[in-house]
Chains A and B, each alone.
Chain A
Amino acid sequence: MKLLEVKNLNVSFMVEDEKVHVLNDVSLDISENEVLAVIGETGCGKSVTGSSILRILPENANISGEIYYNGENILEMPEEKYRLMRGKEIASVPQSPSTSLDPLMKVGDQVAECITVGNRINGKEKATLKGVVNGIFSKLKLPRENEMYDNYPCELSGGMRQRILLSMGIITSPNLLVVDEPTKAIDWVLRKDIVKELKALKDEMKCAMLFITHDLGAASIIADRIAVMYSGEIVETGPADEVLNNPKHPYTKGLISAMPSRGLNVMEGYMPSFTDTFDTCRFFPRCTEKTHMCDTQIPKSFSINEHHTVKCNMYCGGN
């Protein structure tokens, strides 16, 4: 059984009396101890996918579909039951290190709060708690790990704050960690270090991870499998090596060859807006490999091999 299985997830938002369809039939799964990277550009719906799994979507969202965690549909679970599970079994690392921490609270206390969940604790427990937090800090190679507990967020650099957020995610030893854009707001130089630390940590804690990113490089380091998202749909899923080195979907190909080190090739056009309606493949206007079928037919998912699926008419013959 898979640890997490998302089936035909549809999410739409009501914005000023209009329905904006953001996710369209998203299906993905994560096995235990596996890292799935969801790759996509700004506004493709990758963060909404993460938020749906964590059930932290805003009130104006409509969700349909199924999300199974260990065989249980978490979309139908009562709020109270899920609240206990979130944080303990499914944890998350939020996106921006500059705004996700309480500026008036010591970082150590913020991390410790993830375990105590607001329960009062006595002095003795507090000392052991501090030990646990410091242990996490040293695992993440935070400098001066014994003094770090008493720092306030403003005293730390962006990279350090990102590590604090990571430690908040892992301190409860969750089975599934949802990490949203961990490399977005930090220095380019630190990007590689953070991802490597995350990988080492994941190996040690033996947790599965949903790694949401726009950064192909970061995904190549940590991911076992990659799902490529375009305009609210998953267009390609497969093992990381295969997707990066032998992409099948024209969008994935374009994305990879647009990287400066892969030739800086231009994909014309922009991602369509969520208010558009589609009667062809969503990538159709930008596609360079379209066939006669693409005019009329919305592509289904086709399997290239056991692990690799592509949503593109090119592969309808089974390749």
Chain B
Amino acid sequence: MLLEINNLCKDYSTGFLGNRKIHAVDDVSLCINEGEMFGLIGESGCGKSTLTKMILGLIKPTDGSIKYNGEEISNLGEKQWLPLRKEIQAVFQHPQMTFNPKKNLYYSCAEPLRLFDMCDKSSEEYLVREMTECVGISFDQLKKFPHEISGGQAQRISIARALSLNPRLLICDEPTSMLDVSVQAQILRLLMQANKEQNVAMLFISHDLEVVHAVCTRVAVMKEGKIIETGTVDEVFENPKEEYTKKLLNARIEI
């Protein structure tokens, strides 16, 4: 078991005196095995993003536990998280917005290598070249700034950057929802290839059932902060138990 989440909760206080509680994530339990593609389906506002932020240690849960390789990680401080960053990486939804807008893309690509002292100055350029060419981006493109490249290219670079640390777990938060169909196919193929070749496990978050169907092996359906159904892709898609899952499946457009 690579990642094990038990009874995870996150409440936000709102209202005039902070007396109204919103359960953004409510008693969520799930587990991801080594090298598994795990899909998480849900509409916008169902708590998916809060869940990913908790797994990445960006916010602290109100209650519950997150275990990575058997070790509790939800209560770690910023310093203790650093070695884990190499193991758990993320790809975000808005590709052009995941990079430092004031620096060129080379800086962003070399950033993880520098942060973890993975190489000296002389081999840095070689490593960056190698890692971007792996995802089909020529080295010249890296002189550009994030807003000068297309969404598909930016998403490739952000995948390359995440994979450069050889993570065991990659959290993909709607990686293709802003992209066109043909670019989506390129990106999904890239992720599937990384999963196969480097045995990276993925938590693949999406609202698009077709995509989850094509990419994942197991899947969980999330609604209003709760996980209402979990199972293998075939089980959930062929034989949904919950009304909500059926409604989602009905919203597919067959062509």
Contact = CB atoms under 8 A, between A and B. Distances in A.
Interface of A: 41-43, 187-193, 214, 216-218, 220-221, 244, 254-255, 258-261, 264-268, 270
B122 interface: no
Contacts of B180: 41-42, 214
Given A189-B247, A189-B248, A259-B210, A218 B253 contact: yes
Contacts, number: 82
B184 A258 contact: yes
Nearest to B44: A187
Contacts of B147: none
A-B residue pairs, 3 tightest by C-beta? A217-B253, A258-B185, A260-B210
23 contacts: A41-B180, A41-B182, A41-B183, A43-B150, A188-B43, A188-B251, A189-B207, A192-B252, A220-B255, A244-B255, A254-B182, A258-B182, A258-B184, A259-B181, A259-B185, A261-B213, A261-B254, A264-B185, A265-B185, A266-B185, A266-B189, A267-B185, A268-B136
B213 to A, nearest CB: 7
A270 B153 CA distance: 9
Interface in B168-215: 180-186, 188-189, 207-211, 213-215
Contacts of B207: 187-189
Given A218-B253, A270-B150, A270-B152, 5 more contacts: A188-B207, A255-B181, A260-B211, A261-B210, A270-B153
Contacts of B247: 189
A264 B251 contact: no
Nearest to B206: A188
A190 B152 CA distance: 25
A291 to B, nearest CB: 22
A196 to B, nearest CB: 10
Interface of B: 43-44, 136, 150-153, 180-186, 188-189, 207-211, 213-215, 247-248, 250-255
Nearest to A195: B253
B208 A217 contact: no
A260 B39 CA distance: 15
A254 B180 CA distance: 12
Contacts of A188: 43, 207-209, 251
Contact of A267 (B182, B209, B252): B182
Contacts of B182: 41, 254-255, 258, 267
Contacts of B184: 258, 260
Which among A43, A189, A244, A268 has the greatest number of chain B C-beta atoms within 10 A?
A189
Given A220-B253, A260-B208, A187 B43 contact: yes
Contacts of A217: 253, 255
Contacts of A261: 210, 213-214, 254-255
Contacts of A190: 251
Contacts of B255: 216-217, 220, 244, 259, 261
Nearest to B212: A260
Contacts of A244: 255
Contact of B181 (A189, A191, A193, A258): A258
Contacts of B248: 189
Nearest to A158: B44
Which among B182, B188, B247 has the greatest number of chain A C-beta atoms within 10 A?
B182
B39 to A, nearest CB: 12
Which among A190, A191, A244, A258 has the greatest number of chain B C-beta atoms within 10 A?
A258
Nearest to A251: B182
Contact of A260 (B43, B214, B251, B254): B214
Nearest to A40: B180
Contacts of A255: 181-182
Nearest to B250: A192
Nearest to B43: A187
B23 to A, nearest CB: 20
